[in-house]
Structure 1
Amino acid sequence: MNDNRLRGQNVAIIGAGGGIGQAVAKAIAAKGARLALGSRQEPALKELADALTDQGAEAIYHTVDVTNERDVMAFFERAAGAFGRLDTLVNLAGLSVPSSIVSMTEEQYDQTIDVNLKGSFLCAKHFVPRVDSEQGGLIVHTGSMAAKRANPGAPLYCTAKAAVNMFSQGLALQLIEKNIRVTTVNPGAANTGFWGQRQVPRDKFMSAGDVADMIVFLIGMNPRVVVHEVNFESFASFK
């Protein structure tokens, strides 16, 4: 990885209010990237943007619900208005509702599919027109190892993340002419707020920084290389 490739890049991070999003933002800001931060969590976004700005980085924020096209469009208009072109999109928005199939509601079904899959579609749709096709761009979608291994506790989440992987594969082929690469990262469990109050073995999980390291590595790769997907997890949970 060449850290100089991150200097001057304009990077949009969706889900920047979460643990992994904050870790990614801090890491690439330290390498000289300009950041457009999006999330539904306005207090966390503002705190992050203010902290990065105090450290000398260029960072703006805009609240966004990835299931609402007007929100998504407004976010990317704000980002492009601040920085001009956009170079990289990191979409970290995700949702899992653990439930048995007989107790899951239709609303929970819609939320799970919309946040994970519709959100990926809408963010890509409104990012692509803001990329300079001569310079090229990168989309990093977040899947999950749950897309690779069925989980009896959340089969719909597994399905949604598998769909994100396939969406990325098709999108990568569609965007070749626009000089935009598409990558899906499929991390295993990470110790973040994603789990809420669920009783899970957090001591065996990766840290948010571990996942961020992989994403930052991908952003800094030579653009002549296409990484289709990356599957990774904690060695402790793998054993």
Structure 2
Amino acid sequence: MKTNAKQRQLTVAIIGAGGGIGQAAARVLAAQGARLALGSRGEPALRELTEELAGGGADVAFRTVDVTKEEEVRAFFEWAGRTFGTLDVLVNAAGLSIPAQLAEMTEEAYDRTIDVNVKGSFLCSKHFIPHTDRERGGLVVHVGSMAAKRANSGAPLYCTAKAAVNMLAQGLALQLAERHIRVTTINPGATDTGFWGERQVPRDKFMTAADVADVIAFVAALNPRIVVHEINFESFASFRPL
């Protein structure tokens, strides 16, 4: 896997690279020789990560982007195209959850959850496509969640949003096949990141962000003739049948 990624000189755009799974994916892919265009809302975390990876010899640059605003997303991918030329892989890792009981859910929470998770995946996919090579194609990796497969009473909006991301990916895969662009959704189970905030959860049973990043890197390193539609996975310590 490592050798293949280096040989192909992958250029990867990672959205949501400021922390969690996106940040871990940047580290793993940089170690495999990929060139990285990193995007997220927060500049300090992006700048710190970029300096860390560049210090290790990676070809990496960053630009802030709000995935809910189309003009910012368009500008990000135009910048990435100018900086690196054609793009090979998009990792859509931006996401959030606002847990609440139904009586406490606000319209704003609904809009924010859908906008970041679903609209963000849509906009980033849309504006990534023009910067891929028409002959070589490309790969879109959506970071979904096992919450799309298994309802969670504490975060029904998040479950809804990630289920929508899964279906969006399936539709995009059909549309983009003639452009040789593959679409994969990875659905990790509970992962120990800042996503959980102050919630009391059994983090010792969770996967690490690096575990999930390894799955992203695995998909990115596959021969382009292989299409992986979906991968569902979780920590064995917290495993329970679907």
Instruction: Give the TM-score normalised by the residue count of structure 1.
Output: 0.98
- Cα distance between partner residues in 1 of 2:22 and 2:135: 28
Q: Which residue of 2 is the match for residue 205 of structure 1?
A: 206
Q: Deviations over 1:62-95 (max 9, x none)?
A: 0011001111111111110101100000010111
Q: Name the CA distance, whole Å, in 1 between partners of 2:54 and 2:228.
A: 31
What residue is the counterpart of 2:108 in the other structure? 107
Q: Is the 8 A contact 2:22 2:94 kept in 1?
A: no
1:132 maps to 133
- Cα distance in structure 2, aligned partners of 1:201 and 1:148: 20
Alignment of 1:135-146 (within 5 A): 135-146=136-147
Equivalent position amino acid for 1:4 in 2: N
State the partner residue of 1:18.
19
* Separation in 1, partners of 2:48, 2:78: 22
2:11–2:84 Cα contact (<8 Å) kept: yes
* Deviation of 1:34 (Å): 0.4
What is aligned with 1:235?
236
Percent identity for Structure 1 against Structure 2: 69
Q: Secondary structure at the match of 1:102?
A: helix
Q: Distance in 1 between matches of 2:3 and 2:103?
A: 49
Structure 2 spans left out of the alignment, 5+ residues:
none
1:180 equivalent to 2:168? Answer no
Q: Specify the SS of the correspondent of 1:60.
A: strand
Find runs of 4+ consecutive structure 1 residues off by over 6 angstroms: none
Q: State the 1:30 CA deviation.
A: 1.3
Partner of 2:28 in structure 1? 27
> What do the CA deviations read for 1:85-109 (whole angstroms, capped 9, x no partner)?
0000001011100001111111110
Tell me the residue number matched to 2:3: 3
Matched with 2:98 is 97
Structure 1 gap ranges (5+)? none
Computed over aligned residues only, the root mean square deviation of the Cα atoms, in angstroms, reads 1.0
SS in 1 for 2:121: helix
Tell me the CA shift for residue 2 of structure 1: 5.8
In 1: Cα distance, 2:78 partner to 2:140 partner: 17
Structure-2-length-normalised TM-score = 0.97
Q: Distance in 2 between matches of 1:189 and 1:83?
A: 34
Aligned length: 239
Residues in 1 aligned to 2:110 and 2:131: alpha-carbon distance in whole angstroms:
32
